[in-house]
Amino acid sequence: MSAPRTLVPVTPRTPSRPVGTVTRGTTNPNRLRRMDRWIAAAHGAALRRAADPVAVDLGYGAAPWTAVELLARLREAAPRARVVGIEIEPARVAAAKPYAREGLEFRHGGFEVPLESPPVLIRAANVLRQYDEDRVADVWRRLCGRLAPGGLLVEGTCDEIGRRHVWVALGPEGPRTVTFATRLGSLHTPSDLAERLPKALIHRNVPGEPVHAFLRDFDRAWAAAAPYASYGARQRWIRTVRALTADWPVVDGPARWRQGEVTVAWGALAPVGGIRD
C-alpha cells in the first residue's frame, strides 16, 4: 500500500488563455446524480459552514444540465450554496447563459478556475478522462491549489446514463478517497466498474497494481455473497462490502453501502510509484 502523495499548492494566477483543451461535450440529464448525492452528504456541512459556499462544475459540457442539477442537490444540504459552471469551449458557455439564475452562473475558463475567491468544491466529471494520464498530477495540483481551506475536489468518470461511477475526492493537500457507485440492479460483478475508473487509475488495472487487487477481491467477495442475492442486490452488496473491510480500508458505512456505494482510502488504491508526473 503506498502512502497518499502530498500535492504542493500552486499560486493562483490569471493566464491569458484558459488552461486545458476542448474535448467532446457529451453529457446527459441526471447523469451525475450519484456523485451529486455523495457530495451533498460528504461535503454538505462544509458548504453550510462556509461564508461564501461556491461550488464549481468544471467542464459541464454541451448542455448545462449537470450544473443546474448540482445546484438543486447542494441546496438541499446547504441552502446558501452557489454553483459556477466553467467550460473551456466558448460556444458551450454562450449556450448555457440563458439557464443562469439566482445562485447559478456560467463562465469561460479552464483548470485555472477563474473565480475571485477560492471555491469550497470543484467537481470535474468526465473531463480528465479525455486527457493523457501524465496530465493528471499537474491538473490535480492546480485544482487542489485553487480550493478554499477545507474545500474538496471531486474528479471522476461515469457511463452515459450514470449507472456506474468511480471518483477520487481530494482535499487541498491531495487525494483522500476513491468512491465506487453503481446502480445495483444492473450490476453483474463489481469489476464492471473498472471501465469507469478515473484517469489516474484506469491504466493501472493490471496485475501488481493495488486497484487490480482490490477489484479482484471485490469480485471474490461478491461471488461469496451470492446466497444473499435472494434478498436483493442491495443486501448482497452490503454483505460484500462488509467482507471487504477485513482487508481494505473502507472509510464509509452501511448507510452509504445501501446506496450502492463504497469509499476506500486513496492510499490503498494509489498506483505503485504514485501517479505519473
Ligand X SMILES: C[S@@+](CC[C@H](N)C(=O)[O-])C[C@H]1O[C@@H](n2cnc3c(N)ncnc32)[C@H](O)[C@@H]1O
**Residue ranges binding ligand X (CB under 6 A):** 19-27, 31-32, 58-61, 66, 86-89, 92, 110-111, 125-127
Phi then psi for residue 250, to 5 deg, are -75, 130
Cell of 82: 452557489
As measured in angstroms, the least distance from the Cβ of 40 to ligand X is: 17
Please say which residue, 37 or 48, places its beta carbon nearer to ligand X: 37
β-strand pairing of 54-58 with 121-125: parallel
Nearer to ligand X, 23 or 235 (CB): 23
Cβ 244 to ligand X shortest distance, Å: 27
Which CB atom, from 145 or from 150, has the smaller least distance to ligand X? Answer: 145
- Residue nearest ligand X (C-beta atom): 20
Query: What is the closest distance, in whole angstroms, from the C-beta atom of residue 270 to ligand X in the complex?
Result: 23
- Least gap, CB of 98 to ligand X (angstroms): 17
Do 161 and 142 touch, CB atoms closer than 8 A? no
How many alpha carbons fall within 13 Å on the CB side of residue 3? 4
Helices and strands, number each (H, E), in the chain: 9, 8
DSSP at 15: -
165 vs 256, beta carbon nearer ligand X = 165
53/109 with CB nearer ligand X: 109
Residue 256 and residue 40: Cα distance in Å, rounded? 12
The three-state secondary structure class of 63 is coil
CB of 84 to ligand X, least distance (A): 12
Q: Which is nearer to ligand X, 135 or 234 (CB)?
A: 135
Q: 79 burial class (0-12, 13-18, 19+ CB within 10 angstroms)?
A: exposed
Beta partners for 174?
171
Residues ≥6 apart with Cβ < 8 Å to 228: 235, 236, 239
The least distance separating ligand X from the CB of residue 144, rounded to whole angstroms, comes to: 15
Quick one: 31 or 236, whose CB is closer to ligand X?
A: 31
Residues facing residue 107 across a β-bridge: 86
CB of 60 to ligand X, least distance (A): 5
Per-residue cell: 138: 499537474
Are 145 and 172 in contact by the 8 Å Cβ rule? The answer is yes
